[in-house]
Each structure stands twice: as structure tokens, then as C-alpha cells.
Amino acid sequence: EGDTDGEHVAFYSRDMNQGMQERMRIESGLRQALGNGQLELHYQPKFSIASGQIIGAEALVRWRHPERGLVPPVEFIPLAEATGLVVQVGEWVLETACAQAQAWKQAGLPTVRLAVNVSAREFTSALPGRVMETLKRYGLEPSWLELEITESTLMHNIDRVIGIMDRITALGVTLSLDDFGTGYSSLSYLKRFPIDTLKIDRSFTMGIPSDTNDCAIASTIISIAQQLKHKVIAEGVETVEQLAFLKTSGCDEVQGYLFSKPLPAAEFEKALRESWTP
Ligand code: C2E
Ligand code: CA
Ligand code: CA
Ligand code: CA
């Protein structure tokens, strides 16, 4: 009996140890990846429902791993958030998106707004200055840049967060509230946030049109956005039925596999040149 328990303990602790080693392996790998060009950005187009034109793109990070291939952000961003390494990843992402925007500008491509995801740990008083400095260095208009922030960012110290948001919007950079409705931020704060766009989370879009609750939530978010004079975009649009519902409900913009997956820079550029319509 005692021996069996002993084995169990040994088994579990070895298992835990492996989990820890795996995390450390990913973390040091990611640190190296930052330095040796293994990270890349893919760009998912955002469309205006009214015009059918590409009006922007969301930059999404991937890790081109020598053995594991293209690693999606779910496999390293949560860990990077836990360790703080996400701050360096975020710096790389902003830098790379701005360099790309400058290259597209110089190539004479139509102006589109690039959206960059910012995690809660990056949302410090140092962010507005870093954003301004980076835009200046690449000679970009602030209106080319949008920052997507999630409700978890807003949950910390609300007055401090609003102060940072105000400094960012004062630059002319826009803010959108990502994954809206999935967090716990109070509606009473919503009116105080200087945000441009509300982003309907894919978990709600997915249920349209069959799930009446998801339809109700999506159309309620659209009407809140309209009344607060914000734009509203739905992410994860995969079907024409979802698009039809969103259009009828007054949604402004859409993003999803129905139109395009996130694309490597060269492919997004091609889509932009062809002024691709959904
Ligand atoms: P998110 O910000 O909610 O991004 C949307 C995710 O949904 C992306 O996954 C995108 O590829 C996926 N998606 C878009 N349209 C569809 C669709 O029609 N169907 C389905 N099934 N999925 C769709 P991705 O690229 O794997 O990113 C996952 C998450 O990782 C992002 O969620 C974001 O939270 C995080 N992330 C990605 N890039 C960055 C980054 O540069 N910085 C930070 N801090 N987080 C990032
Ligand atoms: Ca996002
Ligand atoms: Ca999102
Ligand atoms: Ca989402």
C-alpha cells in the first residue's frame, strides 16, 4: 500500500516537474525567437459591411518554430503573459507592424488601419510614449494604428487605465475593446472609456443565427455601441447567414474566415492591391 502511494507521489511530482520544464523550455525558446527572427505577423483583413472594402487588418503573432512549424499564439502568449515576456513580444509586434505599414505606404498601397493586440501587462504609463516614438520613427500618421485591448486590461486600476487610454487617444491612435462581453467590466464604466470600437467576440458570432441568446447579445452590443457613438465590429464571421444578421442589426465591420484567414504580409498586400471585396 505504502509503496503504491509512494509511487503515485513520485509519478505526480515527476509530472509536475515535466510541466515546469516544458514551460521553461517554451520561455527560453521564445526569448531566443524574439532575437532570431522566428516571430512573424499575419494580417487578417477587416471589412466595412457597407462598402465591402478592406478598411484595416488585425496583426496576429505566430512563432515559426524550426521543429514545430507555425505555432499559434494560444501556445505561447498565455505563458508570455504569466512571465512578463509579453512586454517584449508586444514591443516586437508594434515595431514590426509599423515597419510593415511604412513599407506598404512607400509602395503606394491604399491606407488601412493596422490593429495590434495589447495585453494587460503592456498597458502601463510607458505605453503612450513608446507608441508615439515608434510612429514618429516610421513616419506614420497615428490614425494608421489601432490598439485592441481586452476587458481584463480595464479591470485593474480604472482611473489609471483611463489616464493611459486618454494619453493614447490624444495621440490620434484609436482603441478598440476586444472580446467584448466575455469579461466582467461594468457597463457603467463603458461610457468613460475613450474607445472608438467595440468588438463582438467570436463566441457570440458563432451562435448566429441559430442560438437566440447569442443573437440577442450580438444585437444588444450593436445597439449599445450605436448609442455610445462607437463603431462595432464582429469577429469570427464564418457564414453568409451570420453576415446577413449582422448587416440587418446595424453592425459596421466584419472580420472572419468567410472573408479571409489571417494572411502572411505578402498575401495581405496582394489582397489589398486587388481591393478584395467579400
Ligand atoms: P483575438 O485577439 O480574439 O484574435 C482573434 C482570433 O480569432 C485569431 O486567432 C484569429 O485567427 C481567429 N479568427 C479570426 N476569424 C476567425 C474565424 O472566422 N473563425 C475562427 N475559428 N477563428 C477566427 P489567433 O491568431 O490564433 O490568436 C489568438 C489570440 O492570441 C488572439 O485572440 C489574441 O488574444 C492573442 N494574440 C494574437 N496575437 C497577439 C499579439 O500580437 N499580442 C498579444 N498580446 N496577443 C495576441
Ligand atoms: Ca484581437
Ligand atoms: Ca478578439
Ligand atoms: Ca476573441
Give residue 4 CA to ligand 1 midpoint distance, Å: 45
Locate 278 and state its grid cell: 467579400
β strands within 31-189, DSSP E: 39-48, 54-65, 69-71, 113-117, 145-150, 174-180
Over residues 176-187, the pLDDT tens digits come to: 999 998 887 677
Q: Whole-number mean pLDDT of the chain?
A: 92
Locate 265 and state its grid cell: 504580409
Over residues 96-115, the pLDDT tens digits come to: 999 999 999 999 998 899 99
Rounded Cα gap, residues 239 and 242, in angstroms? 5
Task: Identify the DSSP state of 210.
Answer: T
Atom of ligand 1 nearest to the CA of 42: 25
**For the CA of 116, the nearest ligand:** 1
Is 183's C-beta closer than 6 angstroms to any atom of ligand 1?
A: no
- Do residues 276 and 51 lie in contact, with contact meaning Cβ atoms separated by under 8 Å? no
For residue 98, the tally of other CB atoms under 10 A from its CB is 22
Locate 44 and state its grid cell: 487578417
Determine how β-strand 69-71 pairs with β-strand 54-65.
antiparallel
Residue nearest atom 13 of ligand 1, based on CA coordinates: 236
Q: Which residue has the cell 462607437?
A: 230
Task: Identify the DSSP state of 142.
Answer: G
Give residue 204 CA to ligand 4 midpoint distance, Å: 9
Q: Which residue has the cell 495590434?
A: 116
Is 61's C-beta closer than 6 angstroms to any atom of ligand 1?
A: yes
Locate 236 and state its grid cell: 469570427
Bond prior to 209 in cis (omega within 30° of 0): yes
Atom of ligand 1 nearest to the CA of 116: 41
Determine how β-strand 69-71 pairs with β-strand 113-117.
unpaired
pLDDT of 170 reads 98
Over residues 64-97, the pLDDT tens digits come to: 999 999 999 999 999 999 999 999 999 999 999 9
Q: Which residue has the cell 505563458?
A: 79
pLDDT of 2 reads 42
Query: Beta partners for 149?
Result: 177
CA distances from 77 to 26, 117, 118, 202, 254 (A): 11, 11, 11, 19, 24
Best-predicted range by mean pLDDT (124-138, 142-156, 261-275): 124-138
CA distances from 230 to 51, 74, 82, 114, 116 (A): 18, 29, 32, 18, 19
Is 235's C-beta closer than 6 angstroms to any atom of ligand 1?
A: yes
- This prediction's pTM: 0.93
Rounded Cα gap, residues 63 and 71, in angstroms? 5
Residue nearest atom 3 of ligand 1, based on CA coordinates: 179
